[in-house]
Amino acid sequence: MEEHDAAAAPTGGPADGALTGRTAAAAQTEAPLVEPGWIEQLRFDAAGLIPAVAQDWLDGAVLMVAWMNQESIARSLASGEVHYWSRSRQELWHKGATSGHFQKLRGLRYDCDADVLLLTIEQKGGVSCHTGARSCFFADGEPQTAAHAHTTAAGTAPSTALPPPADACTELARVIVARREQPEAGSYTNKLLEGGDNRILKKIGEESAEFVMACKDDEAAGIAGEAADLIFHIQVALAHHGVEWRRVLEVLAERRGAPRRHG
């Protein structure tokens, strides 16, 4: 987070509601930008604020927590870029206006009590924290990260800053890349990497065949296990060729909105 304390701003009417969502794209193509009464569903505090959790749109990593009010929510939906409310400066805070690390709003939900927002965002520049870390949640209590957990100086993210927890495939990709950068004796991953394409692609061929046979046998546990083996070896090939797993996620996301192919 880039700011710290205080209060203020307009209030919204309290109302319980089930989990729901709204994308910035929809906000930009529909009129009005915010449906009548939508913001009034939210339960703001006495200062007219509501906490907002920013989550990466691809791997689900939690990047930061800040505060919003009615105006910042409306601005975010209207512009497609996230605006928060700065409690320390008592003003609207267009995320990235000074750092260049803008947040493109991909989706917005509120929780079952309507008192917390979940923003799905595309973080420009890969940095959400003012320290320069990808996520504000880079400390886990260990000495090497705890010493920096309360830092407020810009650009002071420690070299030991932990990446935010993400989905299982992203976490696996991180481990594989770590093995590539810092080999470990006896590591199966390093054995594959040392063998290069010949060894890696041979294993992908074997695992692909085993996956096909598991599907043919129609046994759920076997299919899941072989799929996991295949994904692992594909990720090793990606690491060997310097292709980030995130790029694969980006391609999948791009294809979700692409026109359907026929034939």
Give the model confidence (pLDDT) of 48-75 as tens digits. 999 999 999 999 999 999 999 999 999 9
Of all residues in the chain, the percent with pLDDT exceeding 90 is 68
Residue 98 has pLDDT above 70, yes or no: yes
Residue 121 has pLDDT above 90, yes or no: yes
CATH code where residue 237 lies: 1.10.287.1080
User: Considering the domain boundaries, does residue 184 fall inside one?
Assistant: yes
With bands split at pLDDT 50, 70 and 90, how would you rate the model's confidence at 179? very high
For residue 38, the model assigns a pLDDT of 78
For residue 212, the model assigns a pLDDT of 98
| Number of folded domains that form the chain | 2
User: Considering the domain boundaries, does residue 157 fall inside one?
Assistant: no
Q: In 3-state terms, what secondary structure has residue 116?
A: coil
What pTM, to 2 d.p., does this model score? 0.73
- The answer on 117 and 40 residing in a single domain is yes
Give the pLDDT confidence of 123-160 residue by residue, as tens digits: 999 999 988 899 999 887 665 554 455 555 555 656 66
- The answer on 174 and 104 residing in a single domain is no
For residue 152, the model assigns a pLDDT of 52
Residue 36 has pLDDT above 80, yes or no: no
Buried b / exposed e across 225-251, counting CB within 10 Å, b at 16+? ebeebbbbbbbbbbbbeeeebeebbee
Residue 14 has pLDDT above 80, yes or no: no
For residue 138, the model assigns a pLDDT of 87
Range of the domain at 172: 168-256
- The answer on 124 and 189 residing in a single domain is no
User: Considering the domain boundaries, does residue 12 fall inside one?
Assistant: no
- The answer on 175 and 96 residing in a single domain is no
User: Considering the domain boundaries, does residue 87 fall inside one?
Assistant: yes
CA 69 – CA 74 distance, rounded (Å)? 9
- The answer on 251 and 186 residing in a single domain is yes
Provide the sign of the torsion angle of the four alpha carbons 252, 254, 258, 263, taken in this order: negative
* β 62-68/50-56 pair status: antiparallel
- The answer on 173 and 92 residing in a single domain is no
- Mean pLDDT of the 152-171 span: 75
- The answer on 32 and 110 residing in a single domain is yes
The token pair that represents 195 in the structure block: 């063998």
Of the residues 69, 99, 128, which one is the last residue of a structural domain? 128
